[in-house]
Amino acid sequence: MAELALGIVSLTFEVFSGCVQGYQLITDAKHMPTDCQHLRVRLKTEQYRLLDWADVVKLDETDESLLVSNSSKGLLLDVLDQQRRLLRQFGRLDEKYKKLTRPLLVEFAEEHGRLPNPPAYSPESPTLERADTDFARRFPQSEILLKKSLAYAAKAFDIPRKLKWASFDRVKMEKLVLQLSTFNDYMREMLNSSQLETLAIKQTRTEFQIMQLNSSVQDLAQIINSTFLSRNTRRQRGPSLSMSPVRAILQARGLDDSDDDRESYNPELQSLAALAQTKALNSAIDDPTIFTDEFTHSIKMPNTASEIRAVELDRKHIHIIDEEDEDNEFQRVEAYYQRPHGKKTSVWIEWNTYEPPTYHHTGPDPKLHERVKALVALLRENNRTNQFRAPHCLGYFQDLDPDTGDDHYRFGIVFEKPSSAHPSTRPTSLHTLLTTPSPALEVPSLTSRIALMCLLSENLERLHAVNWLHKGLRSSNILFFSDSGNADIEYNLAFISGFDYSRPALSDDMTEKPPESAREDIYRHPAVQGSGNREGVGGRSYRKSFDLYALGVILLEIAYWKPIDQILGIENLRAAKPSVTYKARARLLDESEGYLRWVNSHLGGRVVEVVRACLEGPQAFGLVEGDDEKLEEVGARLQRGFYEKVVRVLQGVRV
């Protein structure tokens, strides 16, 4: 890092680097008590909040590009200096920088002495690097600003050897984290509305990266608990910060001389906690040895394990309105749900069929039944937070005839209509809009189509952040509700349904195969069409990049405003042979066929590159052949690549 010569670095960057180094030393310190690991996670989260903020205001070695008003620069330096002082003195020095007689943190030498320098900064290849500690590997390591500031601090300051906890004071640690959190909160107030929007986007992507790098239930529980801190001990008075505006902020927020016993929750971290809850549920919900009341309590769920899994409805309370139509290719019917003495709720049902039992079994395969129950439990839990654009799920039932008890060999998943829609309004699928000619329904504006592309891409990015695979993405599962007809549909309010056979990305259980259906296979990657064993391709477990391929097909449909079979010129998709759907991907990517060239001509180069990346797959997002998408580091790279090549590009399209 020769470019970081000490003589040309601004004071702001110098103080900022001291803050980043302080966070790094404390979070890397050895032997923190096990029951306090969530405090270390929260401290690390605050470090990344600071890094994200600094990236938005373009803080670097000089102040030339710093996007902070001149009137705020002095206050910024004050806030950063207060953070640095807190971090540098914590546990080792008193308020006057004298060594404590009984320090919390002490230096210790390991075999290789000092901490190794961070990887050299290279703007051409900001790749994910291996971290110096196991804990640090749970957080992104490719942040350019992180590397630059740590490299400068290593040269400019007297960096101690590795630290370890000689003793631990939980109350002091909580106070430190809360104070640092307040500093970061205050720094947000220096930003204008555009910068706040940029910061929100960047913090969301940081959260997604953290989710990719934390898979164990224990790690996820620490993330969730790190957002809750207790303030139950009066802080000892230290030297007055006198006229410092930061002191006034601390007092106003109750973080200075406070004896408040209530639990403090940082709303800015609410999204991270909700993602961690969903990922923890997704990984544990189908394992009764893990999914216990102790587990749900550890991730701060409001319900017990049995309450979360109690999702089966009584078939007698389901009243189907539609006539049964064996040709209903979308497996979706209107109904209402009403318990005795309860109100009538307008719903629709999505059918999931299963194979009739063999002579020595009764009912559906137990593993399949458990998977459906787990899927419905996840969908119903989403009702609380609405993290994903999934419709509200009420539960499921096994379709046994109420009068005769005959088994129709299917599960019905029950969805409640949105409160904004009239009870009589039926969901309209994107596939219906693409295939139903109507004089009143013109091709939507380019603005509307780009908005729909953005929504679908952003939602899939969020699903994959918690390792939730959809596995049934197609235009018939993109739903809209409009009381005044299809001409007034709001395309940026689509719902995503049809989570058939969804399962965590880390699961290798392939008990059930998707049914062979050309109408569904046309959206599937060739490797998982039908039995998943065509052209010598072994039965592969489903992976995120297969969802991305399905998204690419849907984006192509939105661009053309035609269903994929019409785009490809397939006359009768229902009767199409497997070889026809298997060749779809190759045809779409074949330049001589011209499908992507048409998109380039009508929607522009940005949109065509988005579609191309989704259809091409992992290599387009920075992976190499043979990378295992189930590995945390690979998942993080794929997540970052998908944002850069798809989500960010679509968000930046201006019509």
The backbone torsions φ and ψ at residue 362, rounded to the nearest 5 degrees and listed phi first, read -125, 140
> Where is pLDDT greater, at 555 or 118?
555
Q: What is the pLDDT of residues 346-399, one digit of tens each?
A: 999 999 888 887 666 677 888 888 889 999 999 999 998 889 999 999 999 999
Lowest mean pLDDT among 28-42, 133-147, 391-405: 133-147
- Residue 441's pLDDT band (boundaries 50, 70, 90)? low
Most confident of 64-73, 251-260, 319-328, 409-418: 409-418
- The residues, any chain, with a CB within 8 Å of residue 277's CB and separated by 6 or more, are 220, 224, 299, 300, 301
The SS3 of residue 353 is strand
Distance CA 257, CA 244 (A): 16
Radius of gyration of the chain (CA): 28
| Whole-number pLDDT of residue 531 | 55
| Whole-number pLDDT of residue 453 | 98
The SS3 of residue 251 is helix
Task: Tell me the mean pLDDT in the region 209-228.
Answer: 92
Neighbours of 506 (CB within 10 A): 15
Most confident of 44-58, 341-355, 394-408: 44-58
Residue 10 predicted with pLDDT over 70: yes
The backbone torsions φ and ψ at residue 654, rounded to the nearest 5 degrees and listed phi first, read -115, 125
> Where is pLDDT greater, at 245 or 464?
464
**For a pLDDT cut of 90, what percent of the chain falls above it?**
58
- Residue 88's pLDDT band (boundaries 50, 70, 90)? confident
| Whole-number pLDDT of residue 327 | 53
Lowest mean pLDDT among 35-49, 64-78, 230-244: 230-244
| Whole-number pLDDT of residue 133 | 65
Q: 550 near 514, Cβ under 8 Å?
A: no
- The residues, any chain, with a CB within 8 Å of residue 424's CB and separated by 6 or more, are 346
> Where is pLDDT greater, at 514 or 169?
169
> Where is pLDDT greater, at 331 or 507?
331
Q: What is the pLDDT of residues 557-580, one digit of tens each?
A: 999 999 999 999 999 998 899 999
Task: Tell me the mean pLDDT in the region 51-60.
Answer: 95
**For a pLDDT cut of 70, what percent of the chain falls above it?**
82
Q: Residue 322 corresponds to which tokens in the numbers above?
A: 């539609």
Residue 154 predicted with pLDDT over 80: yes
| Whole-number pLDDT of residue 355 | 81
Count of helices and strands (H, E) across the chain:
23, 12
Lowest mean pLDDT among 106-120, 183-197, 353-367, 384-398: 106-120
Residue 324 predicted with pLDDT over 70: no
Residue 533 predicted with pLDDT over 70: no
Residue 120 predicted with pLDDT over 60: no
Distance CA 252, CA 260 (A): 13
Structural domains of the chain ordered from first start: 6-190 (1.20.120), 311-426 (3.30.200.20), 428-507+514-655 (1.10.510.10)
| Whole-number pLDDT of residue 438 | 63
Q: 606 near 446, Cβ under 8 Å?
A: no
- The residues, any chain, with a CB within 8 Å of residue 399's CB and separated by 6 or more, are 315, 351, 407, 408, 409, 410, 411, 412
Lowest mean pLDDT among 10-14, 262-266, 632-636: 262-266
Task: Tell me the mean pLDDT in the region 238-244.
Answer: 44
| Whole-number pLDDT of residue 542 | 86
Residue 114 predicted with pLDDT over 50: no
Lowest mean pLDDT among 424-438, 467-481, 584-598: 424-438
Neighbours of 608 (CB within 10 A): 21
| Whole-number pLDDT of residue 510 | 44
Cα torsion 561, 567, 570, 571: sign: positive
Task: Tell me the mean pLDDT in the region 443-447.
Answer: 92
Spatial strand order of the sheet with 393-400 comes to 318-320, 332-337, 345-353, 407-416, 393-400
Q: 516 near 425, Cβ under 8 Å?
A: no
Q: What is the pLDDT of residues 253-307, one digit of tens each?
A: 455 544 444 445 556 678 999 999 999 999 998 888 899 999 999 999 999 999 9
| Whole-number pLDDT of residue 251 | 56
| Whole-number pLDDT of residue 109 | 64
